[in-house]
Structure 1
Amino acid sequence: MSLEALRPSPLVEQATQRLREQITGGHWPVGTKLPGETTLATTLGVGRSTVREAIRALSGAGLVQPRQGSGVFVIATEPTEDWPARLRRAAVADVYEVRMMVEVQAARLAAGRRTDADVAAMRAALEKRRTAWSGRSNAAFVDADIALHATVVAAAHNPVLSDLFAEFVPVLRKGLIALVELLELRDPDPPHGDARHAELVEAVIRGDGEAAGRTLETELEATLRELLGR
């Protein structure tokens, strides 16, 4: 099997699949060092950023391992779990990276700008999130979770941040529903992440911006590590 230039369409998915076929088909056995980014990009007819994303997905699947200063090496010929599920994990991880950039700063600002109305909204949203957990719908729980985070962003009283979060919500919602399904988070009690969400709300209410940002960052980073299998 030889590598060929790719057709236009979802290039990262195509590149990932093509490289995976080289590994699972035995073209690159365990212990083999992959060609460099530039070589792979030229061979596949894509940019180096596309190759990097493909390598990241393969690493998440347990097929390759980047070694600083040495390159990327094949460590297995079969993925550690169902391949479509791995691709979904990678997509949700991308969403979370952007989410962290927006929301952590919003939480810090909210702690210094929240009003009595914001406080009431955050507390009500936290309770609705807890109530939604006991229901049967993943989508309803995700909507309640997003609504809570939206109250924190709103408390920052920055229209640009609020608009950015609003634009981001459809992608975030889709990713979160996939996340609940992928990680099988719907255990009975307590609601997933309830303690940290409560800490976030209380930190904002008492005006502790550093604690609010740190709590939210810790929560999102923990989920991101689960997604990437680290």
Structure 2
Amino acid sequence: MALGPVRPSPLVEQAAARLREQIAAGHWPVGTRLPGETTLAGELGVGRSTVREALRALTGAGLVRPRQGAGVFVVATQPVEDWPTRLRRAAVTDVYEVRMAVEVHAARLAAARRTPEDVAAIGVALDGRRAAAAADDRAFVDADIAFHAAVVAAAHNPVLADLFAEFTPVLREGLADLLALTGQRVEDPATGHDAHAALARAIADGDAETAANVLRAELEDPFGGPQAY
């Protein structure tokens, strides 16, 4: 199957895209050695340096892998997405389910491990969330996420903290959409404040089970309003 020449610009991106299409279509199955740079350059109508850069891009995407002295081989038909990319493409419902597992456990750990500094930081974040009641929905969501981030930080588990940070962009969009859909803040601008205050108290008191239960209930019913997910 002839690849056909590509248009003049941008050559590397077009060459990589053409090769990617052929790999995805099964023209070169997994395990197959790609033709040499000279052959590919001739079929694509570009220079060998362009082919070399295109193959480097496909290597970075996890589609091909060079083997010293043997050539370049196909190792996958679809590019490997990194974790942040997969999260951005994930359904909010899926992210929210994982968020619950991460945060409920983090709340339990926070109650057991919190320091006076953690308690103070959670209190400041709670006050910030309450103050954001006068702001627009997105600013309120940012303040809400900052409070939850303070709770996760009090767990003193860097892996949990990193996971929560990865979720943040998806959560921000999902929660802003939820508020816009339900209009919950029209009647109660600081919606969910009592539940968040109860969580802060449970952590300060070292009551792990109450902290976990309060957070679980809050996440099952975001902002204390109608279910949206």
TM value normalised by structure 1: 0.57
2-structure distance, mates of 1:165, 1:222:
19
Look up the match of 2:228.
Answer: 227
**What's the counterpart of residue 131 of structure 2?**
131
Residues 1:221 and 1:141: Cα distance change in structure 2 (over 3 Å): same
* 2:159 aligned with 1:160: yes
| Contact residue 111 and residue 205 of structure 1 kept, 8 A | yes
Deviation at 1:94, TM superposition (A): 2.9
Question: Which amino acid is 1:227 matched to?
Answer: A
Whole-Å separation in 2 of the counterparts to 1:99 and 1:179: 16
Q: CA deviation at 1:216?
A: 0.4
Q: Work out the CA distance in 1 between the residues paired with 2:128 and 2:182.
A: 22
Query: In 2, are the aligned partners of 1:102 and 1:165 still within 8 Å (CA)?
Result: yes
* Structure 1 runs not aligned, ≥5 long: 1-89
2:193 is matched with 194
Q: Output the aligned Cα RMSD.
A: 1.8
TM normalised by structure 2 equals: 0.57
Partner of 2:139: 140
**In the comparison of the two structures, how many residue pairs are matched?**
138
Residue 107 of structure 1 corresponds to 107
Could you tell me how far 1:185 is from its partner in structure 2? 1.7
Mapped to 2, the partners of 1:225 and 1:112 lie a distance apart of 32
User: d(CA) in 2 for partners of 1:110 and 1:171?
Assistant: 24
Q: Are 1:174 and 2:170 an aligned pair? A: no
Letter of the 1:193 partner, please give it. Answer: G
- Displacement of 1:107 in angstroms is 0.2
User: 1:93 Cα deviation (Å)?
Assistant: 2.9
AA paired with 1:226? Q
CA distance in 1, matches of 2:106, 2:141: 20
2:207 is aligned to: 208
Deviations 1:70-99 (A, max 9, x none): xxxxxxxxxxxxxxxxxxxx9433332121
The verdict on how the C-alpha distance between 1:95 and 1:181 changes in structure 2, with shifts beyond 3 A counting, is farther
1:94 corresponds in structure 2 to 94
CA distance in 1, matches of 2:226, 2:175: 15
| Deviates most, 180-189 or 192-201 | 180-189
What amino acid is the match of 2:106? Answer: A
Distance 1:99 1:185 in 2: 22
How many Å separate the matches in 1 of 2:180 and 2:94? 17
Displacement of 1:179: 1.0
Distance 1:94 1:146 in 2: 18
Look up the SS of the partner of 2:221 in the other structure. Answer: helix
Higher gyration radius (CA): 2
SS at 1:160 equivalent: helix
- Structure 1 pair 175/150, CA: closer, same or farther in 2 (3 Å)? same
CA contact (8 A) 1:111 1:206 kept: yes
1:99 aligned partner, one-letter code: R
Preserved contact between residue 182 and residue 226 of structure 2 (Cα < 8 Å):
no
